[in-house]
A and B are shown apart, each in its own frame.
Chain A
Amino acid sequence: MRISILYTSIIIGAIAVISSCSAGGENTGYEYAPNMYNSFAYEPMTQLEEEPNTINPHGMNMREPVKNTVARGQFDYGKYDMKVSNESYEASASLKNPLPASAKNIVQGNRLYNINCTPCHGEKGAGDGSIVAAGKFPPPPDYNSDRIKTTPDGKMFYSIKYGKNLMGAYGTTLTPEEIWQVVHFIHSVNGTAPVALSSSK
């Protein structure tokens, strides 16, 4: 009897010790060689509490690129940098979509639209997306309304890149090329050709 109690307590103790090594909840579990897990070089999206980055602000490993950095293959970099203001919005009407309205661009635009726009604007741009349907967000204007149909391309571009009214700015997630593809897709949804400058005020 006595021995069996001893054995059980040893087994229970061993289970307790061992299970503290496995991950769960707040515990990452035991790592045999953390040096192999944690990159010696600074890795983005990673920040070690034990060895914080001493060079960058907030101890982050990521850093904003140097001003005027041009990413590889970046499309017309810097051309669309504007100050966010009412004047810029009006001035943006003169911008023209540099991409042809090819099937490839429209399909790409559709893909990006489905990711970034459908929660509010809905699949067909009627302003009936999932968040709007749930009553969490006011409906945006219908793409088939006259106002959107007569909006020049440049203003659409500005609204997507810098935001408009309740809509946020998507310039950080979409590149200019991608925004122009979305503009092409919007035209394919409401059946309009790109609005020429002359027809807008």
Chain B
Amino acid sequence: MKLSKLLTLAVTILLSYQLTFADAAEGEQLYKANCTACHAINEKVVGPALKDVHKRRESAWLLKWIKNSQKLIASGDPVAVQVYKENNESPMLAFENLTDAQITSIVDYIKKESETPAAPVVASTAGTTPSPTDGNTNGTGFYSNGTYYALIVMSLVLAIIVFVLFRIRKVVDSLYEQKYPEAVAAEKAQEVSWKDNKLSFRYKLFKKHPVVGTIVVSLLFMVIFGLLGFDYGNKEIGVQKGYAPTQPINYSHELHAGTYKINCLYCHSGADKSKQATIPSASTCMNCHMHVQAKKEDGKVSPEIQKIYNAVGWDSEKRMYDPSKPKTPIKWVRIHNLPDHAYFNHAQHVKIGKVECQACHGPIETMKVVSQQKSLQMGWCINCHREANVDVANNDYYEKLHANLKIEGQTSITVAQNGGLECGKCHY
């Protein structure tokens, strides 16, 4: 009898201990493991904001709701039905595996978080999402505006110095002539024009044989300008290296691919499957930006992200696609463009060739505004085909080729040796 009494006492003490001291730290862990996929403290995510939920609802109701909300709704509980309707009728998962103590600890954690003032959203987002005006005032090019002005001022100062030096030289010359007029006159008398000097090369070429002189000079000009022009045409005409257009949305590859390390293929999902790397559809943006809104001080969605919402007809207040809103595709500006007569296939290079995106597109993960880094000329293609070795050993695609190479006793093979220089591979 005594033993059983002691036991019950111990159990009740233990239980109450667990109930009262189920601390917020455990709650935090549970909260992050189970709730954050749909809830946040201060804002509505999929489910409602949880701030002060302990004040709004009784703890018994909360226990029932968290364990199985569908059951509570089915039982006709008016509060439950109302909550369900307010949140687009998306049901909350049943958490029947959580004990009462665990749920209480989660509520304790929410209580604690509700009392701490909301962290300013601005600080974390303002710096990372440049608005279009930021881009303009800071100068989009290589120089910031400060250096640019400094350069202008410096060149102005240099121009003034040159001007002053010329003036000084003129003054000195005239002073010299005033002081030693005879010396100057003698100097001038000694000078013989090339037109009178019959032994000079210039006289022979232009005075004696004017036709030869003209031909020689024009030939020289033709060769020099021809070479320059050819080089220029080769490098610049029809070559769009350096092209960096403004895109309809101020999307930064530096932020997404650099800072957040999102794989290139997450958005350009066609790069390993098809000829095109594909521009992602706006629904790919919405995978994250349904939630990530980079709100400014005024609590409005960042104007750049709002452009995605406008494109897909998403209502960020109601958190649903509004069928009454028009859908307009985003008109991204194409940067890399091969001539129609050259064939290029992304899948061949990315999946089979295992070429890094950066090999052709440059350090994309550092670019705020994407610019074309390579010329995309044939010489550039061919050069890589000549130099690059095909990794035949670790590639299922080249199994047969690898076996044949082994028989021949070869260890490596370049793309060119594998037929990468044949005209018909790219031009047909």
Binding site for B on A (CB under 8 A): 18, 21-33, 36-40, 43-47, 58, 60, 86, 114-116, 118-119, 127, 130-131, 134-142, 145-147, 163, 165-170, 172-173
Contact A166 B45 (CB under 8 A): yes
Determine if B263 and A118 form an interchain contact, defined as CB atoms under 8 angstroms apart.
yes
Q: Which residues of B contact A60 (CB under 8 A)?
A: 329
Is B136's CB within 8 Å of the partner chain A?
no
Contact call A115/B242, Cβ cutoff below 8 A: no
Q: Is B184's CB within 8 Å of the partner chain A?
A: no
Q: Please tell me if the beta carbons of A36 and B372 are within 8 angstroms of each other in the complex.
A: no
Supply 19 A–B pairs (Cβ within 8 Å), ascending by A.
A23-B240, A23-B372, A26-B245, A31-B237, A31-B238, A38-B340, A114-B263, A119-B261, A119-B263, A130-B262, A134-B259, A134-B260, A136-B292, A137-B288, A140-B36, A140-B37, A141-B33, A165-B90, A170-B287
User: Does B144 have its Cβ within 8 Å of any Cβ on chain A?
Assistant: no
- Are B341 and A142 interface neighbours, CB within 8 A? no
* Chain A minimum-CB-distance residue to B47: A165
Cα distance A111–B46 in the bound complex, in angstroms: 29
Flag whether B286 is at the interface (Cβ < 8 A): yes
Taking the closest CB of chain B, its distance from the CB of A72, in whole angstroms, is: 12
Query: Given A115-B265, A135-B124, are A24 and B238 neighbors across the interface (CB < 8 Å)?
Result: no
Instruction: Give the complex CA separation of A38 and B246 in angstroms.
Output: 21
In the complex, the answer to whether B238 meets A147 with C-beta atoms within 8 Å is no
Please indicate the chain B residues that have their CB under 8 angstroms from the CB of A173 in the complex. Answer: 269, 284
Which single residue of chain A is at the shortest CB-CB distance from B46? A165
- When distances are taken between beta carbons in the complex, the residues of chain B under 8 Å from A23 are 236, 239-243, 372
- Tell me how far the C-beta of B105 lies from the nearest C-beta in chain A, rounded to whole angstroms: 16
Q: Assess whether B46 is in contact with A166, with CB atoms less than 8 Å apart.
A: yes
Which B234-276 residues have a C-beta within 8 angstroms of A?
Answer: 235-246, 259-263, 265-266, 269, 276
Separation of A178 and B202 alpha carbons in the complex (Å) = 80
Complex contact A36–B40 (CB within 8 A): no
Contact B340 A24 (CB under 8 A): no
**Interface 9-residue window, one of B331-339, B401-409, B413-421:** B331-339
**Main secondary structure on A side of the interface with B:** loop
Residue of B nearest to A19 (CB): B236
Flag if B246 contacts A131 (CB, 8 Å).
Answer: no
Interface residues of B (CB under 8 A from A): 32-34, 36-38, 40, 45-46, 89-91, 93, 95, 97, 124, 232-233, 235-246, 259-263, 265-266, 269, 276, 278-279, 281, 283-284, 286-288, 290-292, 328-329, 331, 334, 337, 339-341, 372
Complex alpha-carbon distance, A47 and B334, angstroms: 9
CA distance A24 to B287 in the complex (A): 33
- Minimum distance in angstroms from A135 CB to a CB of chain B: 7
A168 with B283, Cβ < 8 A, contacts A115-B265, A137-B291 known: yes
A136: min CB distance to chain B, Å: 6
Least distance between B121 CB and chain A CB atoms (Å): 11
Tell me the minimal C-beta distance from B139 to chain A in angstroms. Answer: 12
Q: CB within 8 A of B341: which of A29, A36, A146, A168?
A: A36
Residues of B within 8 A of A18 (CB): 232, 236
Task: Kindly list the 6 A-B residue pairs having the minimum CB-CB distance in the complex, ordered from nearest.
Answer: A168-B287, A138-B36, A22-B236, A39-B340, A173-B269, A24-B242
Chain A residues with CB under 8 A of B32: 127, 139
Q: Are A26 and B246 in contact (CB under 8 A)?
A: yes
Q: How many A-B residue pairs have CB under 8 A?
A: 147
* Pairwise interchain contact A119-B262, C-beta atoms closer than 8 A: yes
CA distance A141 to B240 in the complex (A): 46
CB contact between A130 and one of B37, B93, B260 (< 8 Å): that residue: B260
Task: Return the contact of B286 from the options A45, A135, A146, A168 (Cβ within 8 A).
Answer: A168
Q: Is A115 a contact partner of B266 (Cβ separation < 8 A)?
A: yes
Query: With A45-B276, A131-B260, A138-B40 given, is the CB distance from A168 to B33 under 8 Å?
Result: no
Whole-angstrom CA separation of A7 from B286 in the bound complex:
58
Q: In the complex, A107→B163 CA distance in Å?
A: 73
In chain A, what residue has the closest Cβ to B225?
A14
When C-beta atoms are compared, the residue in chain B nearest to A27 turns out to be B243
Q: Determine whether the beta carbon of B237 is less than 8 Å from that of A172.
A: no
The reply to whether A30 and B281 contact each other, CB–CB distance below 8 Å, is no
Complex-state Cα separation, A39 to B334, whole angstroms: 14
B37/A21 in contact, CB under 8 A = no
Given A138-B45, A146-B97, A166-B45, the answer on whether A29 and B281 have CB atoms closer than 8 Å is no
Q: Report chain A residues within 8 Å CB of B235.
A: 22
Partner of A45, one of B238, B260, B279: B279
Pick from B236, B292, B331: contact of A137, CB under 8 Å: B292
User: Which residue in B46, B237, B276 is a CB contact (below 8 Å) of A44?
Assistant: B276
**A176 nearest CB across to chain B (Å):** 14
What 15 additional pairs, Cβ within 8 angstroms, besides A46-B334, A137-B288, A147-B95?
A18-B232, A22-B235, A31-B238, A36-B341, A37-B339, A86-B90, A115-B265, A116-B265, A127-B32, A138-B40, A138-B45, A139-B36, A140-B37, A147-B34, A166-B45
Separation of A169 and B269 alpha carbons in the complex (Å): 14
A119 and B240 contact, CB distance less than 8 A: no
Q: Which chain B residue lies CB-closest to A30?
A: B237
In the complex, which residue of chain A has the Cβ closest to the Cβ of B232?
A18
Nearest-CB residue, chain B, relative to A26: B245
Partner of B238, one of A26, A32, A130, A170: A32
Chain A contacts for B243, CB-based, 8 A: 23-25, 27-29
Interchain CB contact under 8 A, A169 and B283: yes
Q: Which of B97, B236, B283, B340 contacts A172 (CB 8 A)?
A: B283
